[in-house]
């Protein structure tokens, strides 16, 4: 499944000035990176992948629209899958994009 281009455009409008982020096709989706660190992505599996503080992962899960990201059969702290339905509203999408961007900005920049 290709990523949702409409969702990617909505994320692009929220992530900030183009001078502050880069886009990169990754994991079948379109990732938005801040300082070389992935903040959020329009996922190839639908919805978003969002990078968050690993210590907050459990607090943000709701079991329906927000789930842990699973890679290689195990849950990865600091990465969430947010369903397309959970970000239909602009305010909800803004909240997740801002959360991912804020965490990516808190990390040392990659060169």
- Output the pLDDT for position 50: 97
**Which are the contacts of 57, defined by CB distance < 8 A and separation ≥ 6?**
68, 77, 78, 79, 80
59, 80 in Cβ contact below 8 A?
no
**13-49: per-residue pLDDT in tens?**
999 887 889 999 987 899 999 999 999 999 998 999 9
Cα separation, 70 vs 92, in Å, equals 22
Q: With a cut of 80, say whether residue 57 has pLDDT above it.
A: yes
Average pLDDT, the chain: 93
Angle at 11 (CA atoms; ends 90, 89), nearest 5 degrees: 15
- The residues spanned by each domain of the chain are 6-86
């Amino acid at each position: 499944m290709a990523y949702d281009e409409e969702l990617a455009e909505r994320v692009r409008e929220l992530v900030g000035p183009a001078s502050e982020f880069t886009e990169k096709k990754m994991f079948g989706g379109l990732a938005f990176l801040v300082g070389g660190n992935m903040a959020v992505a329009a996922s190839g599996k639908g919805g978003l992948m969002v990078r968050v503080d690993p210590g907050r992962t459990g607090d943000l899960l709701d079991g329906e629209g927000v789930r842990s990201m699973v890679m290689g059969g195990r849950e990865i702290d600091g990465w969430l899958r947010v369903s397309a339905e959970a970000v239909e509203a602009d305010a909800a999408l803004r909240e997740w994009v801002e959360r991912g961007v804020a965490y990516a900005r808190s990390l040392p920049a990659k060169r």
